[in-house]
Amino acid sequence: MFLKNFKFGSKQVGRDSKTFFIAEIGINHEGNFDNCKRMILEAYKSGADAVKLQTIDPDENYAKNTKFYKIFKKAFFNKEQTIRLFKYAKNVGIEFFSTIGDVKTLDWFSRLDPSGYKISSGLLNHYHLIKNICRKNKPILLSTGLATIEEVDKVLKYLKLIKVNKIALLHCCSLYPTPDSLLNLSTIKFFMDRYPLIPIGYSDHSLNSKSVICSIVLGARIIEKHFTLNKKRFSFDHKISCEPKELKHLITEINNVEKMLGSYKKNLSIKEKKNRNVMRRYIVANRNLSKEQIIRINDLSFKRLNKKKNAIGVENLDKILGKKLKKNLTKEKPIIFSNIYEKKI
């Protein structure tokens, strides 16, 4: 059975948790080791919970005549470099994991004991790789760009069959950038209703961060946003990324939205409870009333009061209509139960 909440390294992830924010470094480091270290540090300082790379060996994943081979050849960190980055992130105090593209890379990467693994949209149907990742017994974040709902159902059925329980589903549109008209953020709510036991998140490829805030309102509790030190750089995913100041602002806004959302129930704060007595109406005489007089609706007004000790609230109107007064009451005097006979006439 899938878990609604689970640990991702030292962080709690799930439907009932605070938003888990992933700064997706990906390949925006452009193969520059020192640049990547700086990005890890800046992500931590900006408030991200985790950083994620794309550990995609071009020789194992792309034909040499493709543009992707050239891009990832330039950006690929080997085993030794990745180990050093992993240790650096650990010392900084931020969770570190990656998208792994092949079993060969998985074998050495798994020895780092990462917080978990990301299965990218392009790998959702790669069952041989998924099976081997699942054997590592770590949490898995699964992106759903490019996939039909039948394909999402199929992979989740497979994961359930092999008894994987720490899985989160990320809504995603695999367009870079994704125009607002194609974000289809309602899929987040659709996933939440369709898969009630699985944490739902959002992997954003838009040119701004409005969609991230909207996704939080819809229920996403995992956010993956591309991260860069300079979004004006032409290549890779810089254009759809946040710079450090933007990332810090976005995470602050997410925290604010979470406070606004509150909890999934009707709560009264202590401050609001105090206002109940101030703002609600009480029953008062709207004219001078005589002892033994039967109380009729025309004898009453409904007003806010400064002094309301024992005053009867409007919700109890039916309890006093038709009853006799025990004493005279002057206009504007609150009606109280001790001034009324119990039996109706």
Q: How many residues does the chain have?
A: 345
In 162-269, where does DSSP find H-type helix? 186-194, 210-218, 244-261
Question: Torsion-angle region of residue 262: left (phi > 0), alpha (psi -120 to 50) or beta?
Answer: left
pLDDT of residue 277: 85
Dist CA 181 CA 38 (whole Å): 34
Dist CA 220 CA 227 (whole Å): 19
pLDDT of residue 264: 84
3-class DSSP assignment, residue 39: helix
- Whole-Å CA distances, 290 to 193, 333, 339, 343, 344: 62, 12, 11, 17, 17
pLDDT mean values, one per 10 residues, the chain (345 residues): 96 96 97 97 98 97 95 95 98 98 97 97 98 98 98 98 97 97 98 98 96 98 97 87 97 97 90 91 97 97 92 96 96 96 83
Query: Do residues 262 and 199 touch, judged by C-beta distance below 8 A?
Result: no
Domain ranges of the chain: 7-261, 271-344
3-class DSSP assignment, residue 115: coil
pLDDT of residue 176: 94
Dist CA 204 CA 224 (whole Å): 6
Dist CA 218 CA 175 (whole Å): 21
pLDDT of residue 263: 86
pLDDT of residue 236: 76
Pick the CATH number of 271-344 from 3.40.50.720, 2.60.40.1120, 3.40.640.10, 3.90.1210.10: 3.90.1210.10
Both tokens of 89, joined, read: 């992130």
Query: Which amino acid is present at 228?
Result: T
For the domain spanning 7-261, the CATH number is 3.20.20.70
Q: Return the closest-CA partner of residue 5 out of 127, 146, 183, 166.
A: 166
Q: Return the closest-CA partner of residue 100 out of 127, 71, 86, 120.
A: 120
pLDDT of residue 308: 83
pLDDT of residue 73: 95
Residue 302's contacts (CB-CB under 8 Å, 6 or more residues apart) are 281, 282, 283, 284, 314
